[in-house]
Structure 1
C-alpha cells in the first residue's frame, strides 16, 4: 500500500528578519516566499524561543525551550555551556527516520560541536561544517572546479564595525560586494544540493529507506544567510539603492530608560562607529542577500514541480531568528529582546490542507515545527516536547473561532548570553504588549500598538501598572508550564518588585 504521508521540504534561513516578507514590510523582492504565502498560510506572530543560532536550532530539533535542552549559547564558542545535544533527548528527525521517512540535509548545522546531522537521522549532503561557518570541503571543491577558489577574490565596498568602517584591521566584517557569479555563491550551491536531493527522491534513489521511491522524504535546506557578513554578487549588490532607504523608526533609539546592557552592547559590537549612511549601505546588501536566497528557493520550488512532487510536498520556510541591521542602532543580535530579532518569518504551503492565501494571527514558536513535522508524518509527539503542532491551525485556515481552546495567547522566549557574557532574560509577548524580565537590571514593558518601534520602556509608568502585573503573571505561568529552573526564585522577585 502506498504511503500517503506528505513529503516535507523545510527551508531554514539564518538571521532573516520577519519584515522582509511581511505585507507591510520594506520593498524587498521575495516572489518565492510570497508565493508560499499566497499558496499556503503565513504566520504573522511567529517567534523564536531564543535569538542565538545554536540554542534556537537545538530547540527546533528537540521541541524544547533552551532551558530544557541546555544548549544555552553557541556551541562553537569556548564558553559553551553545553557543546552538544544530550543523546537521550528525542529529536523530530530521528523519529521521522525511525518511522519510514527518507531524511536528508544540506547547509548550515551549528547544533553541536562534535555532532553532525548524520547523528540525528539525516543523510548529510554537504554544504556546511561540523560546528560554525567554516567553508566545507564540498563547497571548496565546487568553487575550485569553477576556477574561483574561496578566499581568492577581491571584495568591493567592504564595510566593518569600529571607528573606521572601511578599516579591516579592527571591528567585524559587515558587508561587501563579491565579484563572483551567482552560480559560485554558497546560496546557489546549497540550492543545487537540494535540487539533487529532490531528483534522487523522485528517482527512488535517495540512499535511504527501501530504495523504491515509496517512502516519503523530509529534506532540510539550511541557508547561510542573510546572516552577516552580507556579501552578495551582482545583480543583488546593487538591487537596492542605499540613498532610497530611510532610517527605521527605531533608529531614534537613545537607550534612555532601558537596561544598561543595551548601550553597552552598542559599543561592544562596534556599532557606535556606524552612521546611517553606513547602515543604509549594509541594509541594501542585507536585502540583496534575502533576494538572492529567495531566487534559490524559486529554483527549488521549480524542481518540485518538474519532478511532479509539488502537490504531495509540504513546503515550510522559517528563520532561526532575526537581525538588527541598524535598527535600534544595533548590529547582529544579543541581550535585547526586540521584535527585530525575536519575530520570525514562517510560511507553510501544504496542498490540500493549508488554505491558499490565509494568514494565521495566532502566536506560535519556531520549535512548534518539531511537533508539526511529526504530526505531518503520523508520528506521536513525545511528552517531553514543549512545542505544539501547527497542524490544527493549518487545517482551520484563518478562522479565529476554530483555534483550539487551549492554544496560548502569548509567546515565551529567553536569552542566556553569548560571547558578551551570561545574561538572564525572559520575555512574554501578547498581541499588544511585551514584558521582558532582566535579572540584573531594569525590566522592560512595551505597548506594541502605541509604540511598535519599542522605544519607550513603560515598566515604571503608573498608567501601565495593571498591565505590568498581568504580564508578569503570564511570565510566571510560562515558567511553571515549561519547568523553567528560574521559577524557583524569579516569581518571588517579580511579586516583590513594584
Structure 2
C-alpha cells in the first residue's frame, strides 16, 4: 500500500524581518513567498524564542526554550555556555527518521560547535562554509568550477561599520554564482532524487541570508533606490527612559556615525538580498510543481529571528527585545488541509514547528516540550486553551551575558531586564516602541498583570530565574 504521509519542504532564512513579507510592510518584492501565503496560511503573530542564531535554531530542533536545552548563546563564540546540544534531547529530525522519513539538509547549521545535521537524523548535503559553519567547502568548489573567485577587496561600493566590519556591497558576479542560487540548485537536485524514492521526504534548506553582510550582485544591488527608502518610524529613537545597553549597542556595533543616507543604502542592500532569496525560493517552488509533488508536499517558511537594519538606529541584533528581531515570518502551505489565503492571528512560536513537523508526519511527539503542534490551527481549529501571549528570552552574546524575558500579548509588551530598567510598550498607540511606559501610573494594572503572567511562565517552564525573578517582579 502506498505511503500517504505528506512530504515536507522547510525553508529557513537567516535573520529575515517579519514585515518584508507582511501585506502592510515596506515595499519589498517577495512574490514567491507571497505565493506561499496566498496558497496557504500566514501567521501574523509568530515569534522566535530568542533573537540569537544558535539558541533559536536549537529551540527549533528540540521544541524547548533555550534555558531548557542549554544552548543559551552562540556556539562559535569563546564564551559559549554550552557548545553542543546534549545527545539525549529528542529532536524532530531523529523523530522523523525513526518513522521512515528520508531526511535531508542543506545550508546553514550553527547548532553545535562539533555537531552537524548528521548527528540529528538528517543526511547533510553541504552548503555551509560561512556564517560560522565550516562543515564543507561545497560552495567554494561550486564557484571555482564556474571560474569565479572574489574576495572582499573585489567588492564594489562597500559599506563598513565604524570598526571596519563589512555591512553591504555589490558582488561583481553573475546571479548563478551566489550562495542563494547555489543552495536553490542543490535543493532542486535533491527534490528530483526524492521524487523517485519510495519513502516520504523531509527536506530542509537553510539560506545564509538575508543576514549581513548584504552582499548581492546586479540586478539586486540596484533594485531599491536609496533615495526612495523611508527609514522606519523607530529610527526616531532617543533612548530616553530605555536601558543603557540600548545606546551602548550603537557604539558596540559600530554604527554611531551612520546617518540617514548611509542607513538608506544599507536598507536598500538588505532588501535586494531579500528579493534575491525570494527568487530562489520561487525556483524551488516551481520545481515542486514540475515534479508533480505539489499536492503531496507541505511547504513551510520561517526565519530564526529578525534584523534591525536601522530600526531604533541599530544594526544586527542584541539585548533589545523589539519587534524588529523577535517577530518572525511564518507561512505554511498544505494542499487539501490549509485553507488557501488564510491568515492566523493567534500567537505562535518558532519552536512550535518541532512538534508540528512530527504531528504532520504522524510521528510521536515527545513529552516535556515547551512547544505545541500547530496542526489544529492548520486544520482551521483553535483549541480553547491556546495561549494568548508569547514569551521570549535572551541570555547574551559576545557583548556579555545579559538576561531578559519578554511577554507579548498583542496589545502590550513587557520586558524584564534583570540588570537595568524594565520596559513596557503599548503597541496599539506606539507600534514603533519608542515610549517606555514602565513608570507611567496609568499602566500600573497592565504592568502588574504582565508581571504575574511572566512569573507563572517562569514556574511553568522551570526557568532558572523563577526564584529571584519572581521576587523582583512580585
Q: TM-score range by the shorter chain?
A: over 0.9
Distance 2:102 2:81 in 1: 32
Return the alpha-carbon distance in structure 2 between the equivalents of residues 130 and 179 of structure 1. 19
**What is the rounded CA distance, in whole Å, between the counterparts of 2:32 and 2:368 in structure 1?**
35
Gaps of 5+ in 1: 163-169, 205-212, 397-401
Superposed, 1:251-266 pairs within 5 Å as 251-266=235-250
- Residue 371 of structure 2 corresponds to 387
Spell out, residue by residue over 1:50-76, the C-alpha distance to the aligned partner (whole angstroms, 9 max, x if none). 000000000000000000100000001
CA contact (8 A) 1:413 1:427 kept: yes
**Offset of 1:77 from its aligned partner?**
0.5
Identify which of 437, 445, 452 aligns with 1:473.
452
1:176 lines up with 2:169 in the alignment: yes
SS of residue paired to 2:379: helix
In the TM superposition, what is the alpha-carbon distance from 1:153 to its structure 2 partner? 6.8
Match of 1:202 in 2: 195
Tell me whether 1:452 sits opposite 2:436 in the alignment: no
The Cα of 1:152 is off from its aligned counterpart by 7.6
Aligned-partner SS, 2:414? strand
In 1, are the aligned partners of 2:129 and 2:139 still within 8 Å (CA)? no
Q: Secondary structure of 2:158's match?
A: strand
Unpaired segments of 5 or more residues in structure 2? none
Question: 2:90 — aligned with what?
Answer: 90
What is the match of residue 222 of structure 1? 206
Report the Cα offset of residue 150 of structure 1.
Answer: 4.6
Shift, 1:131, TM fit: 7.8
User: In structure 2, what is the Cα distance between the partners aligned to 1:129 and 1:99?
Assistant: 31
**Contact 1:115/1:130, CA 8 A, preserved across alignment:** no
Number of the residue aligned with 1:123:
123
Give the match for residue 207 of structure 1. none
Q: Structure 2: how far apart are the matches of 1:30 and 1:234?
A: 17
Is the Cα–Cα contact under 8 Å of residues 131 and 208 in structure 2 kept in the other structure? Answer: no
Shift of 1:171: 2.7
SS state of the match for residue 273, structure 1?
coil
The alpha-carbon distance between structure 1 residues 264 and 130, as it changes in their structure 2 partners (threshold 3 A), is closer
- Is residue 2:313 matched to residue 1:334? no
Single out whichever of 103-112 and 142-151 deviates more from structure 2: 142-151
Q: Corresponding residue for 2:415?
A: 436
Q: Does 1:461 align with 2:440?
A: yes
* In 2: Cα distance, 1:381 partner to 1:277 partner: 50
Cα pair 1:427 1:436 within 8 Å, conserved: yes
Aligned to 1:210: none
1:146 aligns with: 146
CA change 1:131–1:95 in 2 (3 A) is farther
After TM superposition, the runs of 4+ consecutive aligned structure 1 residues lying more than 6 A away are none
Q: Deviations over 1:336-375 (max 9, x none)?
A: 0000000000000000111000000000000000010000
Cross-structure match for 2:11: 11
Deviation at 1:129, TM superposition (A): 3.8
| Greater alpha carbon shift after TM alignment, 127-136 vs 366-375 | 127-136
Equivalent-residue separation in structure 1 for 2:68 and 2:469 (angstroms): 17
Shift in Å, 1:130: 9.0
1: CA distance between counterparts of 2:91 and 2:130?
Answer: 18
- 1:343 maps to 327
Among candidates 363, 367, 374, match of residue 351 of structure 2: 367
Q: Distance in 1 between matches of 2:201 and 2:115?
A: 22
User: d(CA) in 1 for partners of 2:117 and 2:151?
Assistant: 26
Q: Distance in 1 between matches of 2:126 and 2:14?
A: 17
* Alpha carbons 1:54, 1:73 under 8 Å: kept: yes
Partner Cα distance (1:161, 1:134) in 2: 25
Deviation of 1:267 (Å)? 1.0
Calculate the aligned-residue CA RMSD, in Å. 1.1
CA contact (8 A) 2:242 2:421 kept: yes
**Partners of 1:217 and 1:479 in 2: how far apart?**
37
